[in-house]
Amino acid sequence: MKAIFIAYNQAFNEEIIELLASFGQRGFTEWNEIGGRGSVDGEPHRGSHAWPTQNHAVLSVVPDDVAPQVMAALREKDAAFPKLGLRAWTLPVDEAL
């Protein structure tokens, strides 16, 4: 199993959930209205008057064989909308309850 942590511009909110569902992933944990700034470029997302956009994040645990497919779809989405900001990481899941 792999955990995929996805941080993204709030504009992607429904699209990210739909993307996970398209790979049969029903379960996820979501964090809304979080701040951040990319490590490469882009504007901060702070939810303030100066930087009004915000980020959301999702964590979903997926089978090992599904993780590369989800990551590839996320890369495509990020490439199509590079200014919005989308980052994702996979982490091993050694045990789950």
CB of 1 within 8 A of CB of 25?
no
Quote the pTM value: 0.87
Query: In whole angstroms, what is the distance from residue 5 CA to residue 29 CA?
Result: 9
User: What end-to-end distance do the CA atoms of the chain give, in Å?
Assistant: 12
Residue 52 to residues 20, 32, 48, 49, 89: CA-CA distances in angstroms?
27, 14, 5, 5, 25
Comparing CA positions, the residue from 6, 32, 4, 31 lying closest to residue 85 is 6
Question: What pLDDT, in 10s, does the model give residues 38-93?
Answer: 666 666 655 555 555 778 999 999 999 999 999 999 999 999 998 888 999 999 99
pLDDT of residue 25: 94
Say which CATH architecture domain 2-92 belongs to: 2-Layer Sandwich (3.30)
